[in-house]
Amino acid sequence: MKAIANVDFSPQVPDQPETSCILIVDDEERIRAAYRQLLAAPERSIEECATGGEAIDRLDRRDVDILILDLNLPDVHGLEIMEWMVQKHVPTAVLVFSGDESIDSAIRALRHGAFEFIRKHGNAQELIDAVERLQSRRRIEREHAMMTVQLENSERLHRFLVEQSPDIIYTLDRDGRFIFINGRVEALLGYSRGELLGKHYSLIVHPDDLEHARFAFNERRIGDRASTNVEIRLQTKTQGVRHFENRTIVTILSAQGLYDTTDGPATQHFMGTSGVARDITDRKKAEETIAFQAFHDLLTGLPNRILFKDRLGVALTQAKRKGKRLGVMFIDIDRFKLINDSYGHHEGDELLKRFAERARSCLRSGDTLARQGGDEFTVLLPDLSSAEDAAVIAEKLLAELKLPFKIAGLDFFATVSVGISLYPEDGESAELLIRNADIAMYQIKGRGKNGYLQFTPEMHSGHSLRITLESDLRLALESGGDQFELHYQPQVSHRDARTVGMEALIRWHHPRLGLMAPDTFIPLAEETGMIVALGEWVLERALSQFADWREKGFTGLQLAVNLSPKEFDRADLPERLLRRLEAHAVPPDALDVEITENLLMKDAEKNIDMVKQLRNSGLRISIDDFGTRYSSLNYLRRFPINSIKIDQSFVRDLNAGNSNSTSIIHAISCIARSFGLRILAEGVETEAQRQLLSGLACDDMQGYLFSQPLPAAEFEAFLTSSAFPSRTSVN
């Protein structure tokens, strides 16, 4: 950026009356003395000269404001002095007084640039009035000159700002033609200014946005009512580096009407529009990357489970309306783990990709093949004329797989187990149809794999385990929660390798099944509503432990707890949290509530309100598993959260040198930073990941590299003795 050199933008209008220097030139000393007396005043400094020569010397210093000049001097004629002054550009104002009272003499003096002509022997008041008039004129002239300088400076500053602006700044005439556009347009759109001046704005607007642009570019309103942040795609002149889609950049446009008010505010004439277009192409690209990966599986490019479920929901609505049948297939590649472990992950990934291609080739264009995760795929068959149609497709798939996959020079033979469920026979909801297809798939696996089966209600008996777990969980809660334990995992600041907080993670010591990870019982607790009581237990235990640590001197730490969406359903959540915080004397800003992206998407308005209430109470809010759902940046705008936790899956992929993951983390961290959010990466297991993440501007990290989640006593020892001590370590 250029420096704004030599420009003084400070106001320069004087607040004190200035002293005027007055020079009286007359050969008669008596007259000079009389005039000096007449004109004496504090804001005047009066000097005298008896000859023209002396006067010229004095005037040459150019600090005389007013010259009172007698024309008839002994050495030089007064008019000659005035000629000399014109030649030398002496800026002194001249008041001629002369004993020669002829009109001719007065006219000559005035022609030579005199301000006024006064008769020498006239009324003395005439001289005083003339000098006052001159002083006042000089003052106005000076102020005018100063204002001109200020105006020039401000215009220079304005030009500088407009030219250096990273945004396109333009003015249109009343017909929508450019009458001004700054140089930024050249870099952004590839047009020179000359090419655009006089042209209609539609030349640079993407054809699909013309209608939209008409409102923004024709904006007639001003002030707060004028359009701001209208998203419009502009077209570049040629295929540029910065294009979004074909020759397109995305901008946010703000515009307002321009009015001629010279005839007074009542008679405003519309003159045109001026506005600013900010290039947001990079942000849009990042949003698209994130939106794509939120709905797609990165490895195969297939829809992921969220998109699948969404499409299934839409297909179900249509099937219900039209009275049609639809099918869901759950496909699992047999012994995939074995292939992965024996040949390596790269080969495993390659097999998944090739399998996806082959499976897709067996389907019609309206069918959806999705990857659920790992080696599990699902298929939506939205339009089946009979139950057998799904079986035909499954057979086709099995037949396709008789041919080997050639990967890294080797022949891989893959077989699959396929479970099928049908609407309306096997379920009316997306969840039920997927679950029943899954159950059918497990049945075929149990029967020796490589085949397909349609769901039958008898297959449900295996689900009795779930029923038992449900009642065990209820009992565990009712008996006071002794079977539960909290483990704490440190969160480490990447800047100074200090522990800055911890996440509380629940464990269940099941009396028969042993130690159970939360993934095995939290979903069940959520489905049955027991999560609310479980959440209460977690909060109470975690806060009491945390308060204990604070008392021991570990004060600067944050405690993170997971909150399930069900807990958000209760309107009194903020009060309950605050009550518990108060009971343990823990300040609200030490508690970091982790919520999932799902929560923000479903029932957004209600949840926005809840998040705002929590934030207003001083609590901190983090979004857990960020990037795994539809990470619309809109909700980052609308939800006043503090931090985001980048999901482990991206961190894991960093190890495999997956450039997709790197660019997604980069995109996420750029966006998070622009919203002023703290970024925490989860699941950091290796030094290589730590280094990559540091380069991607992650503030804090959590993962096995620093520590596994630990029981309270071990965590306390970690805080004091580890390589990542607490910032407020008591030791």
- CB 590, min distance to ligand C2E, A: 17
Coil/strand/helix, residue 420 = strand
In the bound state with ligand C2E, the residue whose beta carbon lies nearer, of 426 and 594, is 594
- CB 689, min distance to ligand C2E, A: 9
Inter-axis angle of helices 659-674 and 648-655, nearest 10:
140
Q: Which residues pair with 486 in a beta bridge?
A: 506
Rounded to a whole number of angstroms, the CA Rg of the chain reads 42
In the bound state with ligand C2E, the residue whose beta carbon lies nearer, of 195 and 685, is 685
Which are the contacts of 130, defined by CB distance < 8 A and separation ≥ 6?
95, 115, 116, 118
> Residue with the closest Cβ to ligand C2E?
703
In the bound state with ligand C2E, the residue whose beta carbon lies nearer, of 481 and 709, is 709
- CB 602, min distance to ligand C2E, A: 16
In the bound state with ligand C2E, the residue whose beta carbon lies nearer, of 522 and 665, is 522
In the bound state with ligand C2E, the residue whose beta carbon lies nearer, of 66 and 561, is 561
In the bound state with ligand C2E, the residue whose beta carbon lies nearer, of 251 and 564, is 564
In the bound state with ligand C2E, the residue whose beta carbon lies nearer, of 674 and 691, is 691
In the bound state with ligand C2E, the residue whose beta carbon lies nearer, of 395 and 685, is 685
- CB 519, min distance to ligand C2E, A: 5
In the bound state with ligand C2E, the residue whose beta carbon lies nearer, of 489 and 631, is 489
Helix (H) or strand (E) holding 278: strand 269-279
- By CB under 6 A, name the binding residues for ligand C2E: 489, 505-506, 517-519, 522, 535, 538, 562, 564, 594, 624-625, 648, 682-685, 702-704, 709
Amino acid at 705: L
Phi, psi of 639 (to 5 degrees): -95, 125
Q: Can you tell me the distance from the alpha carbon of 555 to that of 727, in angstroms, rounded to the nearest whole number?
A: 9
Burial of 111 (0-12, 13-18, 19+ CB in 10 A): exposed
First to last CA, the chain: 50
Q: Which of 175, 230, 220, 183 is nearest to 199 (CA)?
A: 175
Say if CB 97 and CB 69 are below 8 A apart: yes
Which are the contacts of 547, defined by CB distance < 8 A and separation ≥ 6?
584, 585, 586
Q: Taken in order 406, 411, 413, 414, is the CA torsion positive or negative?
A: negative
In the bound state with ligand C2E, the residue whose beta carbon lies nearer, of 181 and 539, is 539
- CB 511, min distance to ligand C2E, A: 20
- CB 365, min distance to ligand C2E, A: 37
Helix (H) or strand (E) holding 126: helix 124-164
DSSP for 322-359, written as a single string: HT-EEEEEEEEETTHHHHHHHH-HHHHHHHHHHHHHHH
Q: Which of 123, 122, 128 is nearest to 41 (CA)?
A: 128
Provide the token pair at 448.
Answer: 């020796």
Helix (H) or strand (E) holding 623: strand 620-626
DSSP state at residue 211:
H
Say if CB 292 and CB 284 are below 8 A apart: no
In the bound state with ligand C2E, the residue whose beta carbon lies nearer, of 50 and 664, is 664
- CB 663, min distance to ligand C2E, A: 22
Q: Can you tell me the distance from the alpha carbon of 384 to that of 425, in angstroms, rounded to the nearest whole number?
A: 13
Count of Cβ atoms closer than 10 Å to residue 461 Cβ: 9
- CB 532, min distance to ligand C2E, A: 10
In the bound state with ligand C2E, the residue whose beta carbon lies nearer, of 197 and 547, is 547
In the bound state with ligand C2E, the residue whose beta carbon lies nearer, of 287 and 625, is 625
- CB 561, min distance to ligand C2E, A: 6
Which are the contacts of 431, defined by CB distance < 8 A and separation ≥ 6?
309
Say if CB 458 and CB 674 are below 8 A apart: no
Q: Which of 29, 45, 33, 61 is nearest to 135 (CA)?
A: 45
- CB 721, min distance to ligand C2E, A: 20
In the bound state with ligand C2E, the residue whose beta carbon lies nearer, of 303 and 490, is 490
Provide the token pair at 203.
Answer: 């030349």
Coil/strand/helix, residue 233 = strand
DSSP for 15-81, written as a single string: SSPPPEEEEEE-S-HHHHHHHHHHH--TTEEEEEESSHHHHHHHHTT---SEEEEES--SSS-HHHH
In the bound state with ligand C2E, the residue whose beta carbon lies nearer, of 151 and 517, is 517
In the bound state with ligand C2E, the residue whose beta carbon lies nearer, of 506 and 636, is 506
Count of Cβ atoms closer than 10 Å to residue 321 Cβ: 8
| Pairing between β-strand 499-510 and β-strand 514-516 as defined by DSSP bridges | antiparallel
Q: Can you tell me the distance from the alpha carbon of 481 to that of 479, in angstroms, rounded to the nearest whole number?
A: 6
Note the Cα 499 to chain centre separation in Å. 28
- CB 545, min distance to ligand C2E, A: 13
Q: Which residues pair with 714 in a beta bridge?
A: none
In the bound state with ligand C2E, the residue whose beta carbon lies nearer, of 272 and 501, is 501
- CB 628, min distance to ligand C2E, A: 10
Task: Output the CA–CA distances (angstroms, integers) from residue 414 to 270, 295, 309, 354, 359, in the order listed.
Answer: 72, 27, 26, 11, 12
Q: Taken in order 341, 342, 347, 353, is the CA torsion positive or negative?
A: negative
Owner of token pair 């019609």? 364
In the bound state with ligand C2E, the residue whose beta carbon lies nearer, of 215 and 704, is 704
- CB 319, min distance to ligand C2E, A: 34
- CB 288, min distance to ligand C2E, A: 26
- CB 654, min distance to ligand C2E, A: 12
Say if CB 573 and CB 614 are below 8 A apart: yes
- CB 538, min distance to ligand C2E, A: 4
Coil/strand/helix, residue 480 = coil
- CB 531, min distance to ligand C2E, A: 6
- CB 542, min distance to ligand C2E, A: 8
